[in-house]
Amino acid sequence: MIKKIKNESKIKLRAGDTVIVNSGTEKGKKGKIIKVLKADNKVVVQGINVRTRHVKPRKQGQESGILKIEAPVNVSKVNYFCEKCSKGVKVGVEVSADGKRTRVCRKCHTEIK
């Protein structure tokens, strides 16, 4: 019997972080992360990779129409946007003397909240 192993990588980005897209048709655009999909190695960013969906009414009284929804983007295509550096940077983790782990910008070493 073969077990299916999920490819869960260590995603250092969290919901609410501001990111900048570094490749693709949306290159250079900034947005906030709405949702992190760890199992798929993707993130959903507000206003990025917007898709149009035509929806039929499924129940009586439900409205139909055309919805604009954000589709997931691969984590490798986005970088954390540091306000101090004013560009996309990698996120690192520093461990303090008392054992607390904090996320930091790899360029300027400022703490990410």
Task: With residue 48 as reference, give the H or E element that holds it.
Answer: none
Domains contained in the chain, number: 1
Q: Is residue 110 part of a domain?
A: no
Residue 29 belongs to domain with CATH number: 2.30.30.30
The pLDDT, as a whole number, for residue 54 is: 97
Query: How many other β-carbons are positioned within 10 Å of the β-carbon of residue 18?
Result: 16
Structure tokens at 110: 């400022």
Query: What confidence score (pLDDT) does residue 59 get?
Result: 93
Q: Is residue 91 part of a domain?
A: no
Residue 102: inside a domain, yes or no?
Answer: no
- Name the residue range of residue 30's domain: 18-56+63-81
pLDDT at 60: 94
Question: pLDDT > 90: what percent of the chain?
Answer: 89
Confidence of residue 1 (pLDDT cuts 50, 70, 90): low
Task: With beta carbons less than 8 A apart as the criterion, state whether 69 and 51 touch.
Answer: yes
Q: Is residue 3 part of a domain?
A: no
Query: What contacts 80, CB < 8 A, 6 or more positions away?
Result: 12, 13, 17, 18, 19, 88, 89, 90, 91, 105, 112
Q: Does residue 70 form part of some domain?
A: yes
User: What local confidence, expressed as pLDDT, does residue 52 receive?
Assistant: 97
pLDDT digits (tens, 9 = 90+) for 7-60: 667 899 999 999 999 999 999 999 999 999 999 999 999 999 999 999 999 999
